Structure 1
């Protein structure tokens, strides 16, 4: 069986630098920031993020229902207070700009197209552009944010089944790739740990 390629993930510092790129003075910058933050905090696929509707987010509990993700199964995710506040603020701004409550969470905000579902290609280009501006020397795509979420969740919990559920993977073997990332990091850390520092 061929060894699966280890996915590219962002360090904590790179995530912070990426999130510093959208300009909050512009409504599109605010939308992009919320979108990046949500993808990093929930592991949404690009298609799931652009298809996300307001009716799928409980603005009280922070529960997000991902409708028929890959494999046709709905799954539930949750966001914490800080991100919930961000989402609520974004809904207010979006509604104010559009002059009405919209269906989709992430929409075009340009004149004449306000309310249209955001374009997938735009999101791909946006992530690449911000990564370059942030000086991140890695091949970044929206899927990198999902890989980063999964790796960080596994690092924090150590529970691969929980990561599988959050990602909506039908098969655990697909999720196991994230244990390899952490194993490789541990190997590197232990090889360098007290290297030549302790003498017998």
Structure 2
């Protein structure tokens, strides 16, 4: 902050004279070559400007500037894809799956990731939580998914959720639709306890899918879909949190569903989504999220 305020002093500017171009020029300085440096400065400036507003040190109209992340979060990466971009990724995977030889198509060597990605975006589960998800964790009568520790004797190896405590996640319509797809629901009837398993899995309970393989498929088809930013597979979790907040879910509930240790983390998403777009654009985005398979509170 001392560098930023010093730059204002050097130009003889008062804080009330700050405008958007001044913010953009500072964050985009050539000295800040790495995305992580720019993102770090942007976060600090956002916190400072919000504090100035909260303390009413300046009138709102006197502090019109906002720190723009250009749709990015930590390390300069975008937090999430738009629903339209996500649909393009799914279409790319579906096209690749349809082009496979018949024997590979039957085993679902590519198409299985569509189910996985849809469920991830609709629940916000982390990748390791999806690996260990069992049918007994699905409470259809309650409309929830339980994320809980797994003991050695029950799952073959230990699993402890981040935060070391169980939580319940409300099932969005898209997640319910995934669970009803024949290739997923059929495993429950067959007695296989894993909800998502590796293609051509033959062991009892289902062999765990390879997270690295899932990430590789995501990166490939994200790029083929023309998504310009390197949003990682973990970005599906960011999409769940951001979409839920955009739809109007209370921060407290989103924190509980996502398993954030502190509400501050969730509030960071809320602040980002509020600054993301205009009211007209937000209304359009809300409709796209609902069409994707999310419900409003």
- Do the aligned partners of 1:62 and 1:78 also contact (CA within 8 Å) in 2? yes
Question: Which of 73, 76, 80 is 1:6 aligned to?
Answer: 73
- Structure 2 residue matching 1:10: 3-state secondary structure: coil
Quickly say closer, same or farther: Cα 1:90–1:79, change in 2 above 3 A: farther
1:58-98 deviation line (CA, Å, top 9, x unaligned): 244432101142111111112245532431323344468xx
Matched, 1:90 2:157: no
2:124 to 40, 43, 55: 43
CA contact (8 A) 1:6 1:180 kept: no
1:127–1:140 Cα contact (<8 Å) kept = no
The answer (yes or no) to whether the contact 1:62–1:81 under 8 Å persists in 2 is no
User: Residue in 2 aligned with 1:78?
Assistant: 170
Contact residue 45 and residue 143 of structure 1 kept, 8 A: yes
SS in 2 for 1:77: strand
Larger Rg: 2
Normalised by the length of structure 1, the TM-score is 0.79
**Which residue is 2:138 aligned to?**
57
Corresponding residue of 1:198? none
Please give the root-mean-square deviation of Cα atoms over the aligned residues, in Å.
2.8
Tell me how far 1:20 sits from its aligned partner: 2.0
* Secondary structure at the counterpart of residue 116 of structure 1: coil
Q: Tell me by how many angstroms 1:150 deviates.
A: 0.7
Aligned residues: 186
With normalisation by structure 2, the TM-score equals 0.55
Secondary structure of residue in 2 paired with 1:176? helix
- Higher RCO (C-alpha 8 Å, min separation 6): 1
Unaligned runs of 5+ in 1: 193-200
